Amino acid sequence: MWIGAALGDRRAHNPKVAGELIGSVATRMPERCVGIGPPTSTSLEAYMGKLIYAINTSLDGFTEDTDGSFDWSVPGEDVHEFYNDMMRGIGTQLLGRRMYETMAVWETDPSFVEESEVLADFAAAWQDSDKLVYSTTLTDPATLRTRVVSAFEAEAVRDLKQASSTDLLVGGPGLAAHALHAGLVDEIRLVLSPVALGAGKPALPTDLRLDLELIDERRFGNGAMHVAYRVRI
């Protein structure tokens, strides 16, 4: 899972852990790393949104262990601030039901804002985006700016990208697999945690070859590493 899901899931079970792990202030100004953060105002008119797949993985490429746990990926402060910067550049999120229900606490649980400014910063950025939730069973979303669609349609997402002046984010390996197979994903951003699981849910499809170009890398204090790749067509 990615950072918001990791903290959201843990926060739902232990309301103190996130505040203990992350306690200081995150800056509101995004870093202009390669491919990171929102487009500048001078380039906004010419900008067409990228579809980004961002995920936390183990060193051997799994998002969850065999028990479905991803507590090993709860971020340090600098990782969280990095994701805060990225989230501010996202105009639309594409989410499956499980990911949406895990992430919705960033809007439905106001105590997040009270725990620390870095969490409040992420919550504000998460709320300030549209959400497309892919589900055949969800009828009443719990958050604003949220629309439920029953099936992933590649052409609809392609049209959304072409009409968007901000980036789009696809969350979760299942939904991302559909987008990758359809050739819709422009960038893959992985935060590699310093752990090897041996088995679990793969971050990337196991039946698809992807040719990638490294465009950014960053090392974090807890031993995690961010690598960003452009998907070659």
Question: Helices 154-163 and 173-181 sit at what angle, rounded to 10 degrees?
Answer: 90
Nearest Cα neighbor of 143 from 159, 161, 158, 130 is: 130
| The predicted structure's pLDDT at residue 64 | 96
Higher pLDDT, 37 or 222: 222
Mean pLDDT of 61-68: 96
Mean pLDDT of 164-175: 96
Mean pLDDT of 38-44: 51
| The predicted structure's pLDDT at residue 24 | 26
Mean pLDDT of 96-115: 91
Tell me: the pLDDT tens digits for 181-223?
Answer: 999 999 999 999 999 999 999 999 999 999 999 999 999 999 9
Tell me: the pLDDT tens digits for 85-98?
Answer: 999 999 999 999 99
Q: Quote the CA–CA distance of 190 and 192 in Å, as a whole number.
A: 6
| The predicted structure's pLDDT at residue 75 | 84
Higher pLDDT, 44 or 151: 151
CATH class of 3-231: alpha beta
| The predicted structure's pLDDT at residue 48 | 86
Is the confidence at residue 231, as pLDDT, over 90? Answer: yes
Tell me: the pLDDT tens digits for 151-160?
Answer: 999 999 999 9
Is the confidence at residue 115, as pLDDT, over 90? Answer: no
User: Please, what's the b/e burial string for 121-152 (b: 16 or more CB within 10 A of its CB; e: otherwise)?
Assistant: bbbbbbeebbbbbbbeebeebebeebebeeeb
Mean pLDDT of 38-45: 52
| The predicted structure's pLDDT at residue 113 | 78
Higher pLDDT, 150 or 1: 150
| The predicted structure's pLDDT at residue 79 | 93
DSSP letter string, the chain: --HHHHHHHHHHH-TTHHHHH--SPPPSSPP--TT-SPPPTTTGGG--PPEEEEEEEETTSEEE-TTS--GGG---HHHHHHHHHHHTTEEEEEEEHHHHHHHTHHHH-THHHHH-HHHHHHHHHHHSSEEEEE-SS--S-SSSSEEEESS--HHHHHHHHHH-SSEEEEESHHHHHHHHHTT---EEEEEEES---SSSEESS-TT----EEEEEEEE-TTS-EEEEEEEP-
Mean pLDDT of 73-80: 88
Percentage of the residues of the chain whose pLDDT score is greater than 90: 73
How high is the mean pLDDT of the chain? 85
Is the confidence at residue 118, as pLDDT, over 60? Answer: yes
